[in-house]
Amino acid sequence: MQQAFLNFCNILTLNETEASEQGRCLWIASAGLEPLLDITACGPSVAGCWGDGFLSYKKLQLHHNPQLHRIIKHQPGPNLLMRSFVVSASFDNPATAQISKGFVYAPVIEVPHEEAFLTEKQWGLFESGRYNKVPIFIGMTSEESMTLMHANSTETWDAYDNNPSIMVPYDLHITNTDIKKSIGWEIWNQFTDGEGFNNDLVKGIRYHSVHDFDKASIKQAELMSNHSDVYFYQFSYSGLMGYFGYRLAGCGNVSHAEELYYLFSKWYSNDIPDNTDMSYFPEADQKVHFRIMALWTNFAKYLNPTPPFVDVDLLQNVTWELVKPNEFRYLDIEKDLIMVTGYPKEKKYLFWDTLYKKYAVPPLDTF
C-alpha cells in the first residue's frame, strides 16, 4: 500500500489535527516515506509526536510478526472492539489521566524490514535530523484542556494532592521510588503554587494543557528548527465561531482544536445552522476566519503562510517568522495577528524542559 501511495503522489500536503496529527508527525519521521521529499505538512493544534502512549514502547513491542498479523486480520470486528474497550477501561484512573499514559493505542517500533514504517523512537530522529525534512507549521490553542470542564475530575485532583508521584511522566524513565516522589512534589508545587489542587478546576485545566499538549508541540518545533523550516502558532481568539461555549476565569478559554471551526463548515444550532453564512457571526470572528483560511492555504501553495505581496492587508502586513534554533518565535492568532519572540507559556514550558534535562534517563522517546 505504501508503494502504491508513493506511485500516486509527487507532492503531498498534509493538514491534520487532534489525534490524526500524531499520524502526520509519523509520516515525517518514517524512513519508508523518504521518496516523498516534497511533502509539506501543516497541522493545527496537536500533541505532536510526543504524546504517544507508554504502551507503544513498553508493552506492545510487536515488531514484524506475520503470525500475529494473521490472527488479528481474521478476528471478527466486534471481538476486536470489545477487547479494545476492556484494555481502555483498565487505564481509566487518575494515575493514567495524562494523555501520554492513558492513550493506550500508539505507534509500534518495528524491527527494520522492507515495509517498516517506524523503526526508531521519534525523539532521536527529530533531534538528529534523521527525518523527512519538509516545511511544517504546528501549534496550540491558549487552553487545550478546557474540554475537562465537561468532566467530573474531583477524584483526579484529590489523587494528585495525595500522591503527586503519579504526575511524573512515564517517559522520564524514572524507576526509583524516592526520586519519583521528589519529582512529583516539584511538579505539584509548580502547578499549584504549593497550595494543592484542592478540586480547583482552573489549576487542573492549566496543568493538563501544558503537560498533555503544549510542552510537546513546543519541543517538537524546537528540535525540528535545527534542521528544517518550522512555523509555530498559538490560537488565542475566543469567539462565537469557536463553538466551545464554556469560559472559565483564569484559563485561556480557547479549547483543543477550536481553530478548526474557523476553517471548516459546521452545524451549530437551529439558530445558527451553518457557519458558512458569515452573517451569523460578529465582524471580529469573520476576520479571524478569513485570516486562518489565508494562512493555511498560503502555506499549502507557497510553503510560506505569509508570502510577499499575498493577502497583505488581510494579514495586517505581518510576516510569520520561522522558529530559530536558539530563539523561539510564534504567531499569536488573536483578534489581531502578533509575532512574539519567546515560548508560549514560557515559565511552565521551561519548568518541564529543565525537569527533563535534570532527571530524564536517556534515550528519550517522547516529551
Each of the 367 residues of the chain gets a pLDDT tens digit; together they read 445 444 445 555 555 555 555 555 666 776 666 655 455 555 543 333 444 333 334 434 444 456 666 777 777 878 877 877 777 777 678 888 888 776 666 667 777 888 888 888 888 899 999 988 889 989 999 999 998 988 889 999 999 999 999 999 988 999 999 999 999 999 999 999 999 999 899 999 999 999 999 999 999 999 999 999 999 999 999 999 998 777 899 999 899 989 999 998 888 888 888 888 999 999 999 999 999 999 999 998 999 999 999 999 999 999 999 999 999 999 999 999 999 999 999 999 999 999 999 999 999 888 8
Cell of 297: 492555504
* Distance from C-alpha of 194 to C-alpha of 183, rounded to nearest angstrom: 14
d(CA 332, CA 337): 6
> Which triple of cell numbers denotes residue 233?
502558532
**What is the pTM assigned to this prediction?**
0.87
Question: What pLDDT is stored for residue 32 in this prediction?
Answer: 63
Beta-carbon contacts of 19 under 8 Å, excluding residues fewer than 6 positions away, are 103
Give the C-alpha distances (Å, rounded to integers) separating 157 from 148, 166, 186, 270, 332.
12, 11, 16, 37, 31
Statement: 2-50+121-359 belongs to CATH 2.40.37.10 = no
pLDDT score at 111 = 78
Domain ranges of the chain: 2-50+121-359
User: Whole-angstrom Cα distance, residue 169 to residue 167?
Assistant: 6
